[in-house]
């Protein structure tokens, strides 16, 4: 019998839900403390940019520390999917943009949307770069083998077995 996919395991669903509650609570508290000015929610913009940076930082750091299993998987789901997924809110960005457009503020609506998405992309890249500066060494004892990390990782024993077959 094969193992259930991660998204169907109650343990991981609970981890994501717990993280989501924390992230959503933090976002709601910040949004209430700093309401929109002139119809533009600068707080939501800042939340989305900070969240994008943190997600880039987290995923890059985890990708270079080994496969997505055990504690790394739990941390990714708790903080990445849960906390940061609940903290950031691109649905509110879409709603705020739609309200600006409905009010005839086309320039403000388009600018807000483009600024949010553009800054989010820059923030993710910055998070990846910052995490890359603290990447574990790939030289020496206890080093992480880069071929076993992240998407497209190569299983060295599979390579050896393929070589034996020829």
Residue numbering of the annotated binding site for Na(+): 85, 88
By C-alpha distance, which of 26, 21, 11, 85 is closest to 54? 85
Give the 3-state secondary structure of residue 135.
coil
Other CB atoms within a 10 A radius of the CB of residue 100 amount to 21
> Which residues does the annotation place in the binding site?
85, 88
């Amino acid at each position: 019998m094969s193992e259930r996919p991660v998204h169907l395991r109650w343990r991981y669903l609970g981890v994501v839900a717990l993280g989501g509650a924390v992230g959503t609570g933090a976002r709601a508290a910040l949004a209430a403390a700093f309401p929109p000015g002139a119809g533009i929610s600068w707080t939501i913009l800042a939340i989305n940019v900070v969240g994008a940076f943190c997600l880039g930082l987290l995923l890059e750091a985890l990708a270079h520390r080994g496969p997505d299993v055990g504690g790394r998987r739990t941390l990714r789901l708790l903080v990445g999917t849960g906390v940061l997924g609940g903290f950031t809110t691109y649905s509110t960005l879409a709603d705020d943009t739609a309200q600006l457009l409905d009010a005839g503020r086309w320039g403000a609506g388009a600018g807000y949307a483009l600024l949010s998405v553009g800054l989010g992309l820059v923030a993710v890249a910055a998070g990846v770069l910052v995490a890359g500066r603290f990447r574990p060494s790939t030289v020496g004892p206890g080093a992480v083998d880069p071929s076993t990390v992240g998407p497209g990782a190569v299983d060295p024993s599979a390579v050896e077995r393929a070589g034996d077959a020829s």
